[in-house]
Structure 1
Amino acid sequence: MTAANRPSGRPEGAAPSWKVALALVSLALSLLLWLNGLIDSLSRPSVGNDLNRRQLELAVLAEPQLSGPLRNLLAGHNPLETLRKALAEEINHAREGGQSPDPDLLLEQALLLRRQGQTPASDALLAELGSGSSPQATLAQALLEPERKPDSPANQTLPGRQGLIDALPQGGVLRLWSCEELTPGTDCGASGGSRRALLQLVSVSVLPVLLLLLGSAALLRELWLRWRGRAAEAPALQGPQLSGLDAVLLIAGGFVVIGELLTPLLVGPLLTGLLQQLAVTSPLREGISVVSLYLALMAGPLLILALMLRGKGAMAGLQFRWNPLTTNLRQGLKGLLMVLPLVSLVGWLQGQLWGDPGGSNPLLELVLNSHNVPALACFGFTAIVLAPLFEETIFRGALLPVAARKLGATGGVLLSAAVFAVAHLSLGELLPLLVLGIGLGWLRWSSGRLGSCVLMHGLWNALTFTNLVVLGW
């Protein structure tokens, strides 16, 4: 075709002007949405304090099962006093921020002070808990004012007192201490709870240390092999035949504008109305909402990618290469172990320099505070199966090879990792996610298998998910 016969005299191979304009508009919207999301993330509560307190509560419960050096190693010198300080810090932080402290924290603080032989300020506590309509306020009244109120729940029958205890979250020190205060002489399951807490404490403290040691050894071995020139040569980095403009449209237009902006606006109200009609209650409602909205978010970008790859050998270009599955599992596990100490180090350094900036992923809090198995199954399926498969297809399957053709392998890995980290819209988790993204990108480059990246990502999310369930159950 000659230049005279081409539409509008457009040079051969040049993208249509409408496509360029759409990409620029999508990119501008994405940058605005991401910047706003990162700033807003600072106002979201951090799950870090919750995780620390839950681990301290496990240490307090498990202490009777520990003795000698093992006690100091797992529970610390005085876990009860450490927990008291953590509770006071959380409660004061909420008050300083103009928020009402969590009623469970207030009641737990009052019970702890009683166990330490101190008398809580009952009037101030009851005023902060409210008029008495909540289980926490009623329990506080029962525990702190039985002598002033003859009709206090503390003087009710055992079934009435047990009903108050059953209204509290299952497990943990709050329910145990409330039971021991209201029903003295009754078996509140302290010994069984202590043994279970010990198992939980070991799984969330000892096992991660073992994984860090294994990961550090694997990382040092890999570095040694590469320094000595004995590491296996990376295969040729292949990818779908997409242009840089296609990548912008996929990420900015498909992932951000359609997936993160339009999908919740269009699908969210319909899903909420449907769940209300079906009378689905919390927490299962949140579980179904999370998995449904994520499936809807995936649909737009994956449809765009499928249209872009139509007739171009889509699966071969993405290099999933699932067979043999054992190779993918081995490479995914190796990548997980190697990146774990690096992410932990970056997270620790950030905590030392910046403190806790907040802005945790809301899904973390949902998993931590849920005791509903069907809801947890929805959260787990989303985090362990859907998210790794979708995100690796977009970021390491499509974006990384396209970027590598322009910037080289290192530039492609770094760019895909940066976009991956920013896309999670959490300023507090940005640096750890960047390191995780670099690890996933390195695995994609070094193995030539997208399937290994999916499995590594899934294992990472499974480790986080399991830790949250163990701490929250």
Structure 2
Amino acid sequence: MSPSSPRQAPVPPWKNLLGALSLLVAALIWTSGLVNSLSRPSVAPSLNLQQQEVQLLAEPALPDTLGSVLRGGENPRTILKGSLEQIPAADRSWRQTQLLDLLQNEVATVPEIDAADDPLLDRLLCEARGGASGDCINPAVARSAAVRLSVSALLPLITAVTGTALLLGQGWRLWRGRRESWPDLKGPTLTLLDMALLVAGGFVVISAVGVPLLVLPLVSRLTAGLDSPRREAVGVVINYSVMALPSLLILRRQLASLPKDITPEGGWLQWRWRPLSGAFFTALAGWCKVTPIVVLTGWLLVRLFGDPGGSNPLLELVLDSRDPLALSLLALTAVVLAPLFEEVIFRGTLLPVLARRTGSVTGVVLSGLLFGVAHISIGELAPLTVLGIGLALVRLSSGRLFPCVLMHALWNAVTFVNLLLL
């Protein structure tokens, strides 16, 4: 921990009042946001449909054994047809209706459709017009789909297996009494009131309410000349960047008020960039370990309660976008801006303060829970809380903030790539 105890200066009454109001308003915002997220659609159905389409496209290029494993032994046409049939007719898109008609062989006359940019629709139309199955298959498209499907399915599997092995090894060492000693947790000697002002006041109230009211009209003007999805992508980058500013400015002022003579080696946030190789290895190991637990948490949630919906809107933007510039801007937000900002707040500042005040275990759980709640998605609350706990444990075990940023960026990058593959 820090070499000095927290400041004991008298606290002005207005500051206590401001902290209490910030907590109250933040609680109302988060509660309302979580409830409202139930009405947001989940990306899971779209992801499942995309994966089933890729399975059908990849079928000719996959070895029988691998193809059977990836699709669970069922015929990909049957799987896709069944999923499309479950969508109410009124909710099906024009393309989904065409695909279902072709899969059901219910097309009296083959429609005249330009499907040059839609490999699956083009293949099914070719077959409906009497073309031989082999002649309707584009080998290059099939090979590309097979690679995409294999990577999107096998990467999570390999990561989960590796992570499980690492967790079992760590559990064995703990059981044998060979637990590695962790460094002292160093961090800002701020108070819980400071955290209320930083997280509730800056991160939630000002950033989530005040800034959008001022920035959204400006963003609308700046992006008025852009077409979708670039308009939405530029808006995401600007909004996220501006929303991060209040919290960072508050934190900068709070850190500047701390006595300079007690600043720990490496600074209050303990970035400790070097050695880079150690940071990357720690991040990679942490990502592997947390993956099976997050996956298991999400699976149990769906099994017990069904898909609650409320997915992050950014996922839908990535899934629906085909524009390289838009995807690059969304990747910048997800893989660079979000990990940097969120790790500074949650693992760089909040975790050390909570751990000092409540103990390491409680601090890890509370910081992880607040991290999950801050994403305002009821469907992702439990998995993101587990991810937050994993990031907090990396911060504790390494004594560094940089590996947490790398692990967070790696998690978002793999999620982003999987969406692109589908």
Identify whether the pair has TM-score above 0.5, normalized to the shorter chain: yes
Aligned to 1:446: 397
AA in 2 matched with 1:420 = F
Structural RMSD (CA): 2.1
What is the distance in 2 between the residues matched to 1:189 and 1:374? 31
SS in 1 for 2:310: coil
What is the distance in 2 between the residues matched to 1:101 and 1:39? 27
Aligned to 1:284: 230
Note the C-alpha offset of 1:174. Answer: 3.1
What is the distance in 2 between the residues matched to 1:332 and 1:391? 16
2:255 to 298, 309, 328: 309
The 8 Å contact of residues 332 and 456 in structure 1, kept in 2 or not, is answered as yes
The 8 Å contact of residues 418 and 434 in structure 1, kept in 2 or not, is answered as yes
What is the distance in 1 between the residues matched to 2:279 and 2:359? 24
What is the distance in 1 between the residues matched to 2:216 and 2:241? 12
Q: What is the TM-score of this pair, normalised by structure 2? A: 0.92
What is the distance in 2 between the residues matched to 1:324 and 1:294? 30
1:458 matched to 2:404? The reply is no
1:269 to 217, 223, 226: 217
Aligned to 1:232: 180
- Residue by residue over 1:118-150, the C-alpha shift from the partner in whole angstroms, topping out at 9 and shown as x without a partner, is x26xxxxxxxxxxxxxxxxxxxxxxx556xxxx
1:21 matched to 2:12? The reply is no
The 8 Å contact of residues 235 and 448 in structure 1, kept in 2 or not, is answered as yes
1:165 matched to 2:118? The reply is no
What is the distance in 2 between the residues matched to 1:113 and 1:208? 33
The 8 Å contact of residues 233 and 329 in structure 2, kept in 1 or not, is answered as yes
- Residue by residue over 1:148-187, the C-alpha shift from the partner in whole angstroms, topping out at 9 and shown as x without a partner, is xxxxx73xxxxxx5xx335xxx555235434665796997
What is the distance in 2 between the residues matched to 1:70 and 1:187? 23
Unaligned runs of 5+ in 1: 1-11, 121-143, 147-152, 155-160
- Please list, as runs of the form range in 1=range in 2, the aligned pairs for 1:73-472 lying within 5 A after superposition: 73-75=69-71, 76-89=73-86, 91-92=87-88, 100-114=91-105, 119=106, 145=109, 154=112, 164-165=114-115, 170-171=117-118, 173-178=120-125, 190-276=138-224, 279-312=225-258, 316-471=267-422
Aligned to 1:158: none
- Residue by residue over 1:262-286, the C-alpha shift from the partner in whole angstroms, topping out at 9 and shown as x without a partner, is 122211111111111xx21111111
Of structures 1 and 2, the one scoring higher in RCO (CA 8 A, sep 6+) is: 2
Aligned residues: 408
Note the C-alpha offset of 1:66. Answer: 2.9
Q: Percent identity?
A: 45
What is the distance in 1 between the residues matched to 2:247 and 2:130? 57
AA in 2 matched with 1:322 = W
CA 350–69 in structure 1, closer or farther in 2 if over 3 Å, else same: same
Q: What is the TM-score of this pair, normalised by structure 1? A: 0.82
CA 64–420 in structure 1, closer or farther in 2 if over 3 Å, else same: same
The 8 Å contact of residues 44 and 359 in structure 1, kept in 2 or not, is answered as yes
1:62 matched to 2:58? The reply is yes
CA 233–188 in structure 1, closer or farther in 2 if over 3 Å, else same: same
SS in 2 for 1:165: coil
The 8 Å contact of residues 165 and 179 in structure 1, kept in 2 or not, is answered as no
Q: Which moved more, 1:223-232 or 1:331-340?
A: 223-232
AA in 2 matched with 1:261 = V
What is the distance in 2 between the residues matched to 1:187 and 1:78? 20
AA in 1 matched with 2:303 = Q
Note the C-alpha offset of 1:208. Answer: 1.5
2:47 to 51, 60, 63: 51
